[in-house]
Amino acid sequence: MEFFRIHKTIPFMRHALVLNIISFATFALALFFLFHRGLHLSVEFTGGTVMEVAYEQSADIGKVREAVTKLGYPEVQVQNYGTSRDVQIRLPTQKGMSSDQQSAQVMQALKSVDPSATQRGIEVVGPQVGEELTTNGIKALAMVVVGIMIYLAFRFEWKFALSTVLANLHDVVIILGFFAFFQWEFSLAVLAAVLAVLGYSVNESVVIFDRVRENFRRYRKMTTTEVIDNAITSTISRTIITHGSTQLVVLSMFFFGGPTLHYFALALTIGICFGIYSSCFVAAAIAMWLGVKREDLIKGPVKRDGDPGGDDPNAGAVV
Amino acid sequence: MNRYPVWKYAIIVIVLLVGLIYALPNFFGEAPAVQVSAAKTTVKVDAATQTRVEEALKAAGLTPDLVTLDAGSLRARFTTTDDQLKARDVVQRALVPDASDPPYTVALNLLSRSPKWLTSLHAYPMYLGLDLRGGVDFLLQVDMKGAIDKKAESFASDLRTTFRDKNIRGTQVSRNGQTVEVTFRDAASLETAKRLIVDQFPDLSTTDAQDGTNWRLTATIKPEAARRLQDAALKQNITTLHNRINELGVAEPVIQQQGLDRIVVQLPGVQDTAKAKEILGRTATLEMRMVDESAEGRAAELSGAPVPFGSEKFLDRSGRPVIVKKQVLVTGENLTDAQPGFDQQSNQPKVDLTMDAKGGRIMRDVSRENYKKRMAMLIFEKGKGEVLTAPSINGELGNRFQVSGSMTVAEASDLALLLRAGSLAAPMEIIQERTIGPTLGADNIEKGFKSVMYGFLAIMVFMCLYYALFGLFSSIALAVNLMLLVAILSMLQATLTLPGIAAMALAIGVAIDSNVLINERVREELRNGASPQAAIHAGYDRAWGTILDSNVTTLIAGIALLAFGSGPVRGFAVVHCIGIVTSMFSAVFFSRGLVNFWYGNKKKLKTVSIGTVWRPKTGSADGTAVVETK
């Protein structure tokens, strides 16, 4: 089987400017939603009580909400969780009541409506844990960004490091933007997915830049734009197959992993889609704007034109 | 060019064997078991216990199919839950004659069904997290400020005594938050006091100031001493929690330090949160102090007059007020044991107390000075103190002494339990709590397993279709990767959680990247006209740099998650990082081994089974498919 029969180098960079403007617009939009609507943070971050209740028959969400509201909770979220028989109830922390009392009271109210209600799980989180998680999340993000930049600057060149990291932040912000726009629940698992995407999407850029470096060595007469176009074209089959495979697994998690892995898989899906796009158009384009040159990547004495073996793949290679 | 030396194949075979052995225990499932662990620090579970258990079971006609003994616990595995329940009763009767004072905890547990030879190789299955097996999970916060405050108070009283002993007159010692302030009438005594502190209190640092006619000395606990103190407080709290949880009879509880001031407690299989919390939440600290028996003190106790300076009022368990001095003689830290019993002479219930050396010394001094006076034992819960008992001192006390008086048997054993359950060095509160029902756990494990399996199958089918034989090699490498991942996690006895399973699924996706890189590269080489052997060689060689770069960057992200994550994120990160490392081995080293084994010896290799290698028309001047003319 062979999906990609590409006759010519695809001039990706010809459209770079337009796509970059689009990227910038989506990025700005994501930022806007992020600040305007904010993330729908899970109980791990906000503190509070989350109860999971199972019914024998499909649960009537309206009745459940009514029963809980009667107890004097102004703001209660009730939603199906996984199947139609499982309900998740989120209660804000109430002063003067322990979580035990809270959950006992709620269970009693629910049982009086429908005796088949059984408590499957409960999660209670104090507010200070949440604050810490947020700071740790930001620290982890910073450490990933700095670590990747240092590694890339060391292995490649600062221009690549910078463009890769910018492209990655673009991915991360867009994932967050999606979560803000749709008000999907942002849990610790989603945070893990976002950070995993960060590492994963660098892969993409690294593979392309690796090829860019190789092309600079190999085709000495190509312009930078041509080199980048060629690098993207010749790795596009691998890019799509790899991401396709990863996406297969992620879809499997999305469909079979149950509600806990639902948003985790969703975050990864968005990350994968934007990872492909951003490494082709954002990372490579930024590197181009930053003016990556042959000399940036190929250190050491540059051979004069007309040297023997001008097309030698190893010409200019430094060990 | 595509041959591996024998030693490389040897490495592959050894790694596969070891991987297989350690991954194997995970596939046997679990069988009901009875677990015996020590309920007291003085009791040991050893070979003798094993013989006793085995004999008891034999007498009852029960034969366990495996009995294992490891550090601190003994487990007997049975085939049916019926046998398990019977066995528990039998063992309980044999080992615990008196239920009020159990030397052992006998609990129900699950044990891997893996055969004996695997267990004897120390190959155990992964430990399942609570989200996969159900149970309660608490995060406790230790109040470190409280611990330091208390230490400062005890320093204040130590300084007071020392100054009195050394005849430094006219001093006033008071605690102000976490510092101790001393005022002097003259500079000379300040100097003496300063030297004294340097000599005798190495944990304190001092600053002095003159303020009118007064000289003031401020003593602070040195930062390193404060750190040591906090560390010790946390350790003691963990020990105390261990003791308390033992009473619950939970099999395999997890009690771990997290960060500087947190403790994680996980109780698998426990559904009764209220009971668990009650036992954990006895966030009690035990203190012994003298009862204020001055005239003012008595007046306050009897008629409700104002409490004299330097004393506090507490109620005892029947609600009578007791006026107690603020100075703490000893805390629960120094108490090593408390046992209920009967006094030989009066035939009254009593509680025998055992103190450590420091506590014993203090008791000796205190009892000599305070003969016939009353000493109160106070328990503090959530900042509120209660007098457990306030017996009068009837002789010189030492390391061992007894509390007796008007108590019933039940009261005595209750008191002993409260004293013995130990006290916490610093108060704690539960800041996070999760209960996962067993059905939810089983659901999670099934769903997680399914998502890994279907994802894996989908990729395998795709790879085999797209890359033919090379796809098959990649699929085998992927399976090996998964096996090694499971084996390493089992060897580390890491806890597998649902996010961990998610990471495993993701690892499959990421691991296939290396194979795709290699296969695409080989195809490209073939397209460019390289000979099959050369193409294989170049494909692996050139892809290596890219694979290394991309995996290192992914690893950086994984390590950051590991460093800053907690709970579920950590569970994800561990599997993620290990998965990256095993994928480097399986996708590059192992799959190359397979390819070399298959193709390496074929001298005149014409074609490679790697799916279609499409060639563009020769002569196209531009682009990917530059065919070199030879």
Q: How many CB atoms are closer than 10 A to CB B99?
A: 7
Q: How many CB atoms are closer than 10 A to CB B554?
A: 26
Q: Does B509 touch chain A (CB under 8 A)?
A: yes
Instruction: State how beta strands B495-496 and B127-128 pair.
Output: parallel
pLDDT of residue A307: 45
Q: Does A313 touch chain B (CB under 8 A)?
A: no
Find, in chain B, the residue whose alpha carbon is nearest to that of A253: B451
Q: Do A230 and B623 touch (CB under 8 A)?
A: yes
Q: Do B561 and A196 touch (CB under 8 A)?
A: yes
Provide the percentage of residues in chain A whose pLDDT is more than 70. Answer: 90
How far apart (Å, rounded) are the C-alpha atoms in residues B123 and A9?
A: 54
Contact criterion met (CB below 8 Å) for A86 and A37: no
How far apart (Å, rounded) are the C-alpha atoms in residues A265 and A271?
A: 10
- Among B22, B169, B2, B155, which Cα is nearest to B489's? B22
What residues of chain A, 219 to 258, have a C-beta less than 8 Å from chain B? 230, 233-235, 237-238, 241-242, 244-253, 255-258
Q: Does B154 touch chain A (CB under 8 A)?
A: no
Q: Which pair of tokens denotes residue A14? A: 């010809």
Find, in chain B, the residue whose alpha carbon is nearest to that of A8: B623
Edge-first strand order for the sheet with B66-70 is B66-70, B73-77, B30-38, B104-112
Contact criterion met (CB below 8 Å) for B509 and B542: no
How far apart (Å, rounded) are the C-alpha atoms in residues B487 and B389?
A: 55
Identify all chain A residues contacting B553, using CB atoms and an 8 Å cutoff.
148, 151-152, 199, 202-203, 206
CB-nearest partner of B565 from A119, A140, A241: A140
Q: Which pair of tokens denotes residue B442? A: 């089983």
Contact criterion met (CB below 8 Å) for B270 and B276: yes
How far apart (Å, rounded) are the C-alpha atoms in residues A192 and B516?
A: 25
Find, in chain B, the residue whose alpha carbon is nearest to that of A231: B624
DSSP state of B45: -
Q: Which pair of tokens denotes residue A52? A: 């999971």
pLDDT of residue B342: 83
Contact criterion met (CB below 8 Å) for B597 and B12: no
DSSP state of A57: S
Identify all chain B residues contacting A141, using CB atoms and an 8 Å cutoff.
560
- Element holding A87 (H helix, E strand): strand A83-91
How far apart (Å, rounded) are the C-alpha atoms in residues B590 and B430?
A: 48
Q: Do B437 and A120 touch (CB under 8 A)?
A: yes
Identify all chain A residues contacting B623, using CB atoms and an 8 Å cutoff.
6-9, 230, 233
How far apart (Å, rounded) are the C-alpha atoms in residues B155 and B222?
A: 12
Residue with tokens 């806007």: A32
- Among B30, B31, B29, B33, which Cα is nearest to B87's? B33
Q: Do B451 and A256 touch (CB under 8 A)?
A: yes
pLDDT of residue B425: 66
How far apart (Å, rounded) are the C-alpha atoms in residues B627 and B620?
A: 8
Contact criterion met (CB below 8 Å) for A32 and A179: no
How far apart (Å, rounded) are the C-alpha atoms in residues B412 and B428?
A: 26
Helical ranges in B281-356 per DSSP H? 295-303
> What residues have CB less than 8 Å from B75, skipping those under 6 apart?
B33, B34, B35, B36, B67, B68, B69, B109, B111
Contact criterion met (CB below 8 Å) for A270 and A196: no
Identify all chain A residues contacting B433, using CB atoms and an 8 Å cutoff.
99, 122-125
pLDDT of residue A286: 87
Q: Do B620 and A7 touch (CB under 8 A)?
A: yes
Q: Do A203 and B463 touch (CB under 8 A)?
A: no
CB-nearest partner of B508 from A6, A125, A249: A249
How far apart (Å, rounded) are the C-alpha atoms in residues A20 and A286?
A: 9
pLDDT of residue A151: 86
CB-nearest partner of B444 from A128, A235, A258: A258
Residue B314, helix vs strand vs coil:
strand
Identify all chain B residues contacting A206, using CB atoms and an 8 Å cutoff.
546, 549-550, 553
Q: Do B436 and A237 touch (CB under 8 A)?
A: no
DSSP string, B555-591: HHHHHHHHHH--THHHHHHHHHHHHHHHHHIIIIIIH
Identify all chain B residues contacting A121, using CB atoms and an 8 Å cutoff.
434-437, 440
Contact criterion met (CB below 8 Å) for B515 and B463: yes
Q: Could you give phi then psi for residue A181, rounded to 5 degrees?
A: -65, -50
pLDDT of residue B423: 60
pLDDT of residue B153: 76
Contact criterion met (CB below 8 Å) for B197 and B220: no
Burial class of residue B71 (count of CB atoms within 10 Å of its CB; 0-12, 13-18, 19+): exposed
Contact criterion met (CB below 8 Å) for A158 and A76: no
- Among A140, A317, A74, which Cα is nearest to A214's? A317
Q: Which domains does chain A have, with CATH numbers?
A: 12-39+129-296 (1.20.1640.10), 48-125 (3.30.70.3400)
Residue with tokens 């158009």: A281
- Element holding B75 (H helix, E strand): strand B73-77
> What residues have CB less than 8 Å from B360, skipping those under 6 apart?
B398, B399
- Per residue in A193-234, pLDDT tens? 888 888 778 878 888 888 888 888 888 888 888 888 888 888
Q: Does A133 touch chain B (CB under 8 A)?
A: yes
Residue with tokens 């976490």: B178
- Per residue in B9-39, pLDDT tens? 999 999 999 999 999 998 888 888 888 887 6
What residues of chain B, 369 to 398, have a C-beta less than 8 Å from chain A? none
What residues of chain B, 527 to 586, have a C-beta less than 8 Å from chain A? 542, 545-546, 549-550, 552-561, 563-569, 572-573, 576
Q: Do B459 and A248 touch (CB under 8 A)?
A: yes
Q: Do A257 and B448 touch (CB under 8 A)?
A: yes
Low-confidence ranges of chain B (pLDDT < 50): 619-630
DSSP state of B374: B
How close is the nearest chain A Cα to the Cα of B395, in Å?
Answer: 46
Q: Do A242 and B616 touch (CB under 8 A)?
A: no
Q: Do B451 and A126 touch (CB under 8 A)?
A: no
How far apart (Å, rounded) are the C-alpha atoms in residues A246 and B585?
A: 19
The sign of the CA dihedral B448, B449, B451, B452 is positive
What residues of chain A, 273 to 302, have a C-beta less than 8 Å from chain B? none
Residue with tokens 């074609």: B607
| Residues listed for chain A | 319
How close is the nearest chain B Cα to the Cα of A5, in Å?
Answer: 7
> What residues have CB less than 8 Å from B433, skipping those under 6 apart?
A99, A122, A123, A124, A125, B136, B137, B138, B139, B273, B277
Contact criterion met (CB below 8 Å) for B377 and B390: yes
Instruction: State how beta strands B179-184 and B214-221 pair.
Output: antiparallel
Identify all chain A residues contacting B518, using CB atoms and an 8 Å cutoff.
none
How close is the nearest chain B Cα to the Cα of A214, in Å?
Answer: 10
> What residues have CB less than 8 Å from B292, skipping those under 6 apart?
B300, B308, B310, B311, B323, B324, B325
pTM higher than 0.80: no
CB-nearest partner of B509 from A6, A128, A245: A245
Residue B290, helix vs strand vs coil:
strand
Cα angle A187, A79, A57 (rounded to 5 degrees) comes to: 130
Contact criterion met (CB below 8 Å) for B104 and B36: yes
Burial class of residue B285 (count of CB atoms within 10 Å of its CB; 0-12, 13-18, 19+): buried
Q: Does A119 touch chain B (CB under 8 A)?
A: yes
Q: Do A202 and B557 touch (CB under 8 A)?
A: yes
How close is the nearest chain B Cα to the Cα of A186, in Å?
Answer: 13
Which residues sit opposite B73 in a β-bridge?
Answer: B37, B70
Identify all chain A residues contacting B504, using CB atoms and an 8 Å cutoff.
none
pLDDT of residue B307: 84
Q: Which domains does chain B have, with CATH numbers?
A: 6-23+438-600 (1.20.1640.10), 30-113 (3.30.70.260), 145-226 (3.30.70), 284-423 (3.30.1360.200)
pLDDT of residue B420: 62
> What residues have CB less than 8 Å from B243, skipping those under 6 apart?
B41, B420, B421, B422
CB-nearest partner of B623 from A120, A200, A233: A233
Q: Which pair of tokens denotes residue B494? A: 């890491």
First to last CA, chain B: 22
What residues of chain B, 453 to 472, have a C-beta less than 8 Å from chain A? 454-456, 458-459, 462-463, 465-466
Identify all chain B residues contacting A151, using CB atoms and an 8 Å cutoff.
552-553, 556
Low-confidence ranges of chain A (pLDDT < 50): 301-311, 316, 319
Q: Do B564 and A129 touch (CB under 8 A)?
A: no
Q: Could you give phi then psi for residue B384, rounded to 5 degrees?
A: -105, 135
Q: Do A2 and B436 touch (CB under 8 A)?
A: no
How far apart (Å, rounded) are the C-alpha atoms in residues B337 and A111?
A: 46
* Residue of A4, A81, A91, A203 to mutate for B, most B C-beta atoms under 10 A: A203
